[in-house]
Amino acid sequence: MLNTTDVGTGVPILWIHGFPLSSRTFEAQQTIPGARHVMPDLPGFGRSEPPAGTVSIEEYARLVIGELDRRDIDQAVFAGLSMGGYVALAATKLAPERVKGLILIDTRETADDDKARAGRYETIEKVRGNGVDVVADSMLPKMLTAAAPAEMRERVRDIMTSSSVEGVTSALRAMAERADATAVLAGVTVPLLVIAGEHDAITPPADAERMAAAVAGAKLVIVPAAAHLSNVEKPEEVNAAIEEFVRGV
């Protein structure tokens, strides 16, 4: 069972956070009207217990679908940011009947190449030796643009450093071993909204453009003056796009 925030009424949106973050990164999305926001913390992140054993992106997908089951929610819009997007696509493969619509934010459908995979295993060793600060230090500069206010940067750092070593290392392994979801994306028949920060260096806008082009009728929103956490840095633009999308599903 995951620690899950559940607020609002309307179309259920299952929000799946990125790495090494928590549901707190979606705080500014809780006010989107006309929706019930179900926001779990993945194992070892936020206030969820660390995982008991090895996890995979598919296992994360099963766990977040379990949060819908616990609430008797048959179908939801799955909104995944970065690693959460990998989970949303895995859920689409596992249980397409549960997916009413898909929102892919600052993410990609492709798997890691050998270099990226090797880098993840190196990071696992560093985190085991020196703690989660290693990841927070290396990722923070890519999460927000240089123009982001200092308190926003501090909040994102605090979210990252609140993650457990077990949560972070198991997620790194899960991401390294994740399957390519190109075929899953190509098979999507529900409404799709793809969002990316203009300056996202982790999953650049080219990834978003490719994903949107793969699905007929998909909507693409490139958020100006935002980096990887476009929903944190520019909540007004992102929330407006999501509110409009949700009205249409």
Residues that bind ligand MLT (CB under 6 A): 18-19, 82-83, 175, 202, 228
For residues 127 and 175, which CB has a smaller minimum distance to ligand MLT in the complex?
175
CA distance 67 to 1: 7
Q: Name the minimum Å distance from CB 131 to ligand MLT.
A: 18
Which residue in 125, 67, 142 sits closest to 98, CA to CA?
Answer: 67
For residues 85 and 235, which CB has a smaller minimum distance to ligand MLT in the complex?
85
Q: Name the minimum Å distance from CB 16 to ligand MLT.
A: 10
Q: Taking the alpha carbons of 141, 145, 151, 152 in that order, is the dihedral positive or negative?
A: negative
For residues 11 and 202, which CB has a smaller minimum distance to ligand MLT in the complex?
202
CA distance 175 to 59: 12
Relative to beta strand 35-40, strand 4-7 is: antiparallel
Which residue in 231, 202, 167 sits closest to 27, CA to CA?
Answer: 231
Q: Name the minimum Å distance from CB 81 to ligand MLT.
A: 7
CA distances from residue 60 to 28, 37, 208 in whole angstroms, order as listed? 23, 18, 22
Q: Name the minimum Å distance from CB 115 to ligand MLT.
A: 13
For residues 166 and 243, which CB has a smaller minimum distance to ligand MLT in the complex?
166
CA distance 18 to 201: 15
Q: Name the minimum Å distance from CB 189 to ligand MLT.
A: 26
For residues 83 and 192, which CB has a smaller minimum distance to ligand MLT in the complex?
83
Specify the residue for token string 């994102």.
156
CA distance 42 to 61: 10
Q: Name the minimum Å distance from CB 118 to ligand MLT.
A: 14
For residues 156 and 241, which CB has a smaller minimum distance to ligand MLT in the complex?
156
* Residue 223 bridge partners (DSSP): 197
